[in-house]
Chain A
Amino acid sequence: MAAKKASPDLLNSSFSFKSLKLKTKQQELLLRVSILGLVYVLAFIARLFSVLRYESMIHEFDPYFNYRTTLFLTEKGFYEFWNWFDSESWYPLGRIIGGTLYPGLMVTAALIYWTLRFLRFFVHIREVCVLTAPFFASNTTLVAYFFGKEIWDTGAGLVAAALIAICPGYISRSVAGSYDNEAVAIFALLLTFYLFVKAVKTGSLSWALGSAFGYFYMVSAWGGYVFIINLVPLYVLVLLITGRYSMRLYVAYNCMYILGMLLAMQIRFVGFQHVQSGEHMAAMGVFLLMQVFYFLDWVKHQLNDTKLFQTFLRITVTSAILVGGIALGVGTASGYISPWTGRFYSLLDPTYAKDHIPIIASVSEHQPTAWSSFMFDYHILLFLFPAGLYFCFKRLSDATIFIVMYGLTSLYFAGVMVRLILVATPAVCLISAIAVSATVKNLTSLLRTKQKVPQTGSTKGVGSSKSSSKVTLDQSQPFHKNGAIALLVGVFYLLSRYAIHCTWVTSEAYSSPSIVLAARGAHGNRIIFDDYREAYYWLRQNTPTDAKVMSWWDYGYQITAMGNRTVIVDNNTWNNTHIATVGRAMSSYEDEAYDIMRSLDVNYVLVVFGGVTGYSSDDINKFLWMVRIGGGVYPVIKEPDYLVNGEFRVDKGASPKMLNCLMYKLCYYRFGELVTEYGKPTGYDRARGVEIGNKDIKLEHLEEAYTTSNWIVRVYRVKPPTNML
């Protein structure tokens, strides 16, 4: 009896919109919330490839420093962290970590960790660090939705959230495990911009205060905050010039500038740069300009008489320009206002770094961007961007002017430096979302006017039904309806190809941890090379605790974090001379190198060698940069000594200096006896594809301490000097 009664109840309670009796507005709200929820989850899970394939670990180089500092923060507390002097890196100089880092990321991860512990979820801090980036990527999609709503409408907001959730340009720096500043910084950037645009739109002090806090979060998170402090004044200037100034702009910019500047100066690393550095002077200049501008506007309003006002205008403007020009001139000439630093100056003049600062030029992320990188990272967004610009120009408002400026400036900088594709990604996604949303809206409104029954099968972006009433077309042509359906199918196809491309790119290109390498064996099975961690743990367990390790600066952070030993140079690269000393040691003959190593108290030397596995990011391929950087400070190291006819070779035809320098000896010690590939002679270097020139290597002052199982990392012990009789 009970079973029979149950089935009709089940049928009656089957889910349908009609049974819930939802009105259209509520249906729309449900649709929006569920889309946003799905996009939020999608953004998180798309970034989990490497956790599933390998394990939950921190990737690359810089994140290891961030992990080490976060660990310190959770163990010792904020006061110790803020005043930390680290003697384990940059031996013998040490590093003032508390004053030379951007604490936003570490504090965020620590707060999440403490919240979880308070809720009795006892997770390890490493898990929190690994998953911080995907979590904040999901939050960025929410901010992108609200931002899109401000600029255009809710449909554009939804499309923007969906596009940015899987865009490879953003995924590249925010996969699970990529515990780097950009993970949090892009969220802070977009939040600041959204709050500022909202402040300009509403003219409310509380939104401007919100954007000041967003700016503070951005300053605490990343050095790229300089972009905000220059873009916002540029935007204000453009608004002033185009005559769109209003009282709301005054309120928004002034509150944000003063409060933001004050909050930013609380970060020790930033310090007084907001009033002393050339990169921040644009904001101050625009601030003063606004005071003058609005003062004149107020006086004009008071006087109601143009002739008197003209004289007043002349006096004030000339005196203001004079005073401003003199102040700027005196400040720059006396050196009080420092000029643009090398890192940012090379954005304006891309050739500057190559000639003057080789360390900046050597970082692979700082190279100019190729078209293939743009296509790889943006796919269809690349041609949707100009379409979106067209729509923005059609409906100009304060908000669309902002997004256009953000898009154009960030794309210029993305063209100069590969790393900055990340900064351009939110703008490109937002503007492309406008194009997609406006197009789909126009097409579906074409469909809706033709039929009496409203279409529910169109793709995302359908906001309100009001747009249908605005479209007028010739009722007698059924061609329009078919064309609209065909175009909608085309849009759907494009967006699905975008999703497929993004997933493929994430899976293939951006999910490798860099510290663990994988390859396919002869039978298609997966082989994992875990040599880095093997070497670091060997260092941790088999060397004295006060041992000093010399390696190229790339590996410094990893050695201190995982090997727990003092290093000579690390990725912070704040002291070029120290790095040049290491570079000189690596490129000298063994005797000179031994003297340098003794002067630095080096106990162990670590090199990375890819000849056995074919790993191409090893120290031999980076060797010329060591020569250039060393030669930049010590003229005794000359690059042409290591080249033959301008060519870098390691085989028999290599230059004698190359064949006998320390790096060569350390990398190829005992390699001459090894057969690496079937059919090739012994000592065949698989990464360079040649047989090495000097197979019979004898080391006098160093001895081999450890070589990992695939010969990727090699550690040598520096022998103490022989006793003199």
Chain B
Amino acid sequence: MVKSTSKDAQDLFRSLHSAYSATPTNLKIIDLYVVFSVFTALIQVAYMALVGSFPFNSFLSGVLSCIGTAVLAVCLRIQVNKENKEFKDLAPERAFADFVLCNLVLHLVIINFLG
């Protein structure tokens, strides 16, 4: 039973790995950025657990800026990915411009919220 589940897990990892290496490079860069953002958010949460959450607005703005950029990067990835039929007539330049605009608004609000 354990052996079959570990074999399943290994199969899972291998097929995921092989499927993933087929994705184009620009999408991989975006994925790397998403992983970096989430990792930064986790570090901030761990730090908060150590030293306490005062001032709370700074903690929230830090974590939410990481989550925000991660989410916006995922949205960019969705819009740029050529496999998505829904977005095939959206120019990647327009998607990137929207991404930049939303990030600009996000970071302006974060700067105001940082305190």
0/1 interface trace, chain B 71-113, chain A, CB 8 Å (1 if under): 1101110110001101100100001001101100110011011
B-side contacts of A258, CB under 8 Å: 64, 67-68, 71-72, 106
Q: Does B30 contact A (CB under 8 A)?
A: no
- Contacts A206-B98, A266-B113: A250 and B68 contacting too (C-beta < 8 A)? no
Instruction: List, in ascending order, chain B residues with CB within 8 A of A250's CB.
Output: 74-75, 78
Chain A residue at smallest Cβ distance from B76:
A205
Interface membership of B12, Cβ < 8 A: yes
* Contact status of A205 and B16, CB under 8 A, knowing A246-B86, A266-B109, A311-B8: no
Whether B99 lies near A205 (C-beta < 8 A) is: yes
Highest count of chain B CB atoms <10 Å: which of A209, A212, A251, A308: A251
- CB contacts (< 8 Å) of A254 on chain B: these are 71, 74-75
Chain B nearest Cβ from A89, distance in angstroms: 28
Q: Mark B55-67, 1 if CB is under 8 A from A, else 0.
A: 0110011001001
Query: In the complex, what residues of A have CB within 8 A of residue B5's CB?
Result: 311
Are A251 and B78 in touch, CB under 8 angstroms?
yes
Which of A206, A251, A261, A305 contacts B15 (CB under 8 A)? A305
Which residues A200-252 have CB closer than 8 A to chain B? 203-206, 208-209, 212, 246-248, 250-251
Q: A258-B68, A263-B109, A308-B8 are in contact. Are A302 and B20 (CB under 8 A)?
A: yes
Q: Which of A246, A255, A262, A299 has the most CB of B within 10 A?
A: A262
CB of B51 within 8 Å of the partner chain:
no
Is residue A542 contacting chain B, with contact meaning CB distance below 8 A?
A: no
Q: How far is the CA of A266 from the CA of B114 in the complex (A)?
A: 10
A487 within 8 A of B: no
A265 within 8 A of B: yes
CA distance A272 to B60 in the complex (A): 9
Are the CB atoms of A262 and B109 closer together than 8 Å?
yes
CA A248 – CA B106 in complex, angstroms? 20
B75 contact set on A, CB distance < 8 A? 205, 250-251, 254-255
- The reply to whether B19 and A303 form a contact with Cβ atoms under 8 Å apart is yes
Q: Which of B68, B90, B112 lies in contact with A266, CB distance below 8 A? A: B112
- Distance in angstroms from B84 CB to nearest chain A CB is 6
**Chain A residues near B98 (CB-CB < 8 A):** 204-206, 209
B 19-64 contacts with A by CB, 8 A: 19-20, 56-57, 60-61, 64
Q: Give chain A nearest CB distance to B3 CB in angstroms.
A: 14
Min CB distance A80 to B, Å, is: 19
B26 → A minimal CB distance (Å): 16
A259 within 8 A of B: yes
A203 to B90, CA, bound (A): 10
**Interchain CA distance A301-B19 in the complex, whole Å:** 9
- Binding site secondary structure of chain A: helix
A275 within 8 A of B: yes
Determine the chain A residues whose CB is within 8 A of the CB of B15 once the complex forms.
303, 305, 308
| A616–B75 CA distance with the chains assembled, in angstroms | 59
Chain A residues contacting B20 (CB-CB under 8 Å) are 302
The number of chain A residues touching the other chain, given as a range, is: 20 to 34
CB distance from B44 to the nearest CB of A (A): 14
Bound form: Cα–Cα A261–B110 in Å: 11
Interface presence of A312 (CB below 8 A): yes
From known contacts A203-B87, A266-B112, infer whether A311 and B12 are also in contact, taking CB-CB under 8 Å.
yes
**A304 at the B interface (CB under 8 A):** yes
Q: CB distance B19 to A261 under 8 Å?
A: no
Cβ–Cβ contact A203 & B79, under 8 A: yes
User: Which residues from chain B contact A266 at a C-beta distance below 8 Å?
Assistant: 109, 112-113
User: Contact at A261–B64, with CB atoms within 8 Å?
Assistant: yes
State the CA gap A272–B58 with chains docked (Å).
Answer: 12
- In the complex the two chains form, is B102's CB within 8 Å of A275's CB? no
CB distance from A474 to the nearest CB of B (A): 43
**Distance in angstroms between the alpha carbons of A303 and B18 in the assembled complex:** 9
Asked if B113 and A262 sit within 8 Å, CB to CB, the answer is: yes
CB pair A209–B105 under 8 Å, yes or no, is: yes
Q: How far is the CB of A212 from chain B (nearest CB, A)?
A: 8
Complex Cα spacing A255 to B67, Å: 11
Distance, CA A250 to CA B20, complexed state (A): 21
Q: Is the CB of B110 within 8 A of A262?
A: yes
User: Is B79 in contact with A251, judged by CB distance below 8 angstroms?
Assistant: yes
Bound form: Cα–Cα A304–B102 in Å: 33
Q: Are A302 and B16 in contact (CB under 8 A)?
A: yes
| Contact A312 to B109, CB < 8 A, known contacts A255-B71, A262-B64 | no
Closest Cβ of chain B to A624, distance in Å, is 43
Give chain A residues whose Cβ lies under 8 Å from the Cβ of B86.
203, 246-248
B56 with A205: CB separation less than 8 A = no
B72–A255 touching, CB < 8 Å: yes
List chain B residues, Cβ under 8 A from A263: 109
Q: How far is the CA of A203 from the CA of B76 in the complex (A)?
A: 11
Chain A residues near B71 (CB-CB < 8 A):
254-255, 258
A341 to chain B, nearest CB (A): 20
Chain A 323-359: CB-based contact to B (< 8 A → 1; otherwise 0): 0000000000000000000000000000000000000
Do residues A259 and B68 form an inter-chain contact, with CB atoms below 8 A? yes
A277-326 at interface with B (beta carbon < 8 Å): 299, 301-305, 308, 311-312
Which residues of chain A have C-beta atoms less than 8 A from B78's C-beta?
247, 250-251
B113 touches A255 (CB 8 A): no
**Contact between B105 and A265 (Cβ–Cβ < 8 Å)?**
no
Assembled-state Cα–Cα distance A304/B57 (Å): 43
Residues A259 and B106 in contact, CB atoms below 8 Å apart: yes
Of the candidates B11, B60, B83, B101, the one whose C-beta lies within 8 Å of that of A209 is B101
Contact between A312 and B12 (Cβ–Cβ < 8 Å)?
Answer: yes
Task: Give which listed residue, A206, A212, A262, A308, contacts B11 with CB less than 8 A.
Answer: A308
* CB-contact partner of B102 in A259, A261, A265, A302, under 8 A: A259
Q: Pick the contact of A247 from B9, B67, B87, B102 — CB < 8 Å?
A: B87
CB within 8 A of A259: which of B57, B60, B105?
A: B105
Please report the C-alpha to C-alpha distance between residue A209 and residue B109 in the assembled complex, in whole angstroms. Answer: 13
Could you tell me the distance in whole angstroms from the C-beta of B76 to the nearest C-beta in chain A? 8
Least Cβ–Cβ distance between A453 and chain B, in angstroms: 41
- CB-nearest residue of chain B relative to A262? B109
Docked complex Cα distance between A275 and B101 (Å): 25
Q: Contact at A259–B109, with CB atoms within 8 Å?
A: yes
CB distance from A397 to the nearest CB of B (A): 14
Q: B68's contact among A208, A247, A262, by CB below 8 Å, is which? A: A262
21 pairs, CB–CB < 8 Å, chain A vs chain B: A203-B87, A208-B102, A212-B105, A246-B86, A248-B86, A251-B75, A251-B79, A254-B74, A255-B75, A258-B64, A259-B68, A259-B102, A262-B68, A266-B112, A303-B16, A303-B19, A304-B19, A308-B8, A308-B11, A311-B8, A311-B9
Q: A203-B87, A250-B74, A311-B12 are in contact. List 20 more A-B contacts (CB 8 A).
A: A203-B90, A204-B98, A205-B72, A208-B102, A247-B78, A247-B86, A248-B86, A251-B79, A254-B71, A258-B64, A258-B67, A258-B72, A262-B68, A262-B110, A266-B113, A302-B19, A303-B15, A305-B15, A308-B11, A308-B15
Closest 9 CB pairs of A and B: A205-B98, A302-B19, A251-B75, A258-B68, A254-B71, A262-B109, A247-B78, A311-B8, A206-B98
